Structure 1
Amino acid sequence: MARKNIPITLKSVCKLLLLNVSFIVLLTACNQSTKDQTKGSSKQKTSVEEISQDENYITCWGIGPLEFGDDPASIQEKVGKENVSMDSLFLEGDFERLITKVWKGSPKEISIVWEEVKAPFKTIKLFEVSHQNSPYKFHNGIGIGSTLKEIVALNGEEPINLYGFGWDYGGTFIDFGKGKLKGDLPCFGGVFELQTEVGDAEVQQAMGNQAITSNLPALKKYPTVLKVIRVSEKGTK
């Protein structure tokens, strides 16, 4: 059978070329769309995983894996019964109440003060961390060992109010004054330590049962660090 020759015209060549170009453009667009979707999905997954896996954050909802909505049963379920124990809280040398401690004696230790003075305990009043190697931090970096100077900087350079040093409630945080952190961290509480053995007139100004500010010369001259962090759901200290 004789093969029929089909005339090739310029018009037919152009049509073929246009079809090929359209196919290539469509294929490229599909590939790029798939890559973008995969990339976006990967970013979203990473963000969620980072938040869920980082149990060292302090927020106004709690510390680490623990939240204000927890009760003794849920705490044991989260961290393991073997990591939960009861301890005594003393104020001014006198027994005050029983509290719960999680991971007692380790850098991850968290103390829990309950609204109820005795069992059954149902409502968390505040969380506290104080281990010098505590890993817990707020999102802005404030943690155990943060200096008063660093926190004042985060407060927009507005002075911070606290109680004078050298007595039972010495160095206890009062408030952020008019600073930025007043709105950012309404749940924040804690205790600062003035690290000096000098007893000059400047230091004496920062001592005793009185409200003082971070503007005092002694607090700028000598290291003043955060040694206790307390987190209260309602911002009470």
Structure 2
Amino acid sequence: MLRLGVILVAMALSAGGTFAAELACEGPFAKDSDHKRLVAAFGHANVIRKAIHDPEGAEVRASIVFPKDSVRRVVVLWFDEKALKRPARLVLEGSSWSGPQGLRIGSPLEVVETANGRPFTLYGFDWDYGGSTESWNGGALGNLSGGCAFAPIFEPDYTTSDEIQNAVSGDTQFASDSQAMRAAKVRIRSLHLRYPRK
């Protein structure tokens, strides 16, 4: 296995030729990193600067690692956008990345609770910050090695009834182990790691 910063744990190809890697807040993705360090770690051809839009639609400057590779693509948002320094959020857009403890896109809510060591609080769905985590309630996923927090975005199972989905919609906080969340069969939609602003 290969350690390339974010702990690219298992950046090696598996026997079946499938890329698999775990992202963590170290090396080129450490809290004091910058765009230049990404280039040094991954190569000039594999890192670009690009303006993207945040959840509220505002344009922000970001760095994108492996921009043309849907399996390994990572978007890095910065606290210092002008200098592209101090990562604020890492967005794991590549389909084969995993987060802490092997959590992946599609991991059920119950599995995330087990990794956290306790239930947590998340927002309802179908608005700008729908499905985001409000608090890990002191659990393991809120204080990872390197000083970051796991910040996945969740979604309900859209094959459930409208009544079930409406019950977990909107700018409202829910306990992950609530009856409404369990009924919605919630799972991870996308993977993010986030640093505090300090």
With normalisation by structure 1, the TM-score equals 0.65
Does the 8 A contact of 1:164 with 1:211 survive in 2?
yes
**Residues 205 and 222 of structure 1: CA distance in aligned 2, closer, same or farther (over 3 Å):** closer
Query: Could you tell me which residue of structure 1 aligns to residue 99 of structure 2?
Result: 137
**Residue identity opposite 1:111 in structure 2:** V
Instruction: Return the alpha-carbon distance in structure 1 between the equivalents of residues 79 and 92 of structure 2.
Output: 18
Does the 8 A contact of 1:72 with 1:121 survive in 2?
yes
Query: Could you tell me which residue of structure 1 aligns to residue 34 of structure 2?
Result: 71
Instruction: Return the alpha-carbon distance in structure 1 between the equivalents of residues 152 and 197 of structure 2.
Output: 11
The alignment partner of 2:97 has SS state of coil
Query: Could you tell me which residue of structure 2 aligns to residue 222 of structure 1?
Result: 184
Query: Could you tell me which residue of structure 2 aligns to residue 98 of structure 1?
Result: 61
CA offsets 1:90-116 (integer angstroms, 9 cap, x no match)? 235633311111112421111111112
**Residues 94 and 183 of structure 1: CA distance in aligned 2, closer, same or farther (over 3 Å):** closer
Q: How does 1:46-125 map to 2 (within 5 A)?
A: 54=9, 55=11, 56-61=21-26, 66-92=29-55, 94-105=57-68, 106-118=70-82, 120-125=83-88
What displacement does 1:163 show? 0.7
Query: Could you tell me which residue of structure 2 aligns to residue 166 of structure 1?
Result: 126
The alignment partner of 2:126 has SS state of coil
More helix per residue: 1
**Residue identity opposite 2:50 in structure 1:** D
What displacement does 1:218 show? 3.5
Query: Could you tell me which residue of structure 2 aligns to residue 28 of structure 1?
Result: none
CA offsets 1:182-235 (integer angstroms, 9 cap, x no match)? 4557611121011225211x4322110111121232421233221222222338
What displacement does 1:51 show? 5.4
Query: Could you tell me which residue of structure 2 aligns to residue 40 of structure 1?
Result: none
Does the 8 A contact of 1:130 with 1:144 survive in 2?
no
**Residue identity opposite 2:149 in structure 1:** C
With normalisation by structure 2, the TM-score equals 0.77
1:153 paired with 2:114, answer yes
| More divergent stretch after superposition (67-76 vs 147-156) | 67-76
Instruction: Find 1:175's aligned residue among 135, 149, 152.
Output: 135
- Structure number with bigger Rg: 1
Does the 8 A contact of 2:150 with 2:193 survive in 1?
yes
Instruction: Return the alpha-carbon distance in structure 2 between the equivalents of residues 123 and 183 of structure 1.
Output: 18
| More divergent stretch after superposition (66-75 vs 167-176) | 66-75
The alignment partner of 2:64 has SS state of strand
Instruction: Return the alpha-carbon distance in structure 1 between the equivalents of residues 144 and 84 of structure 2.
Output: 30
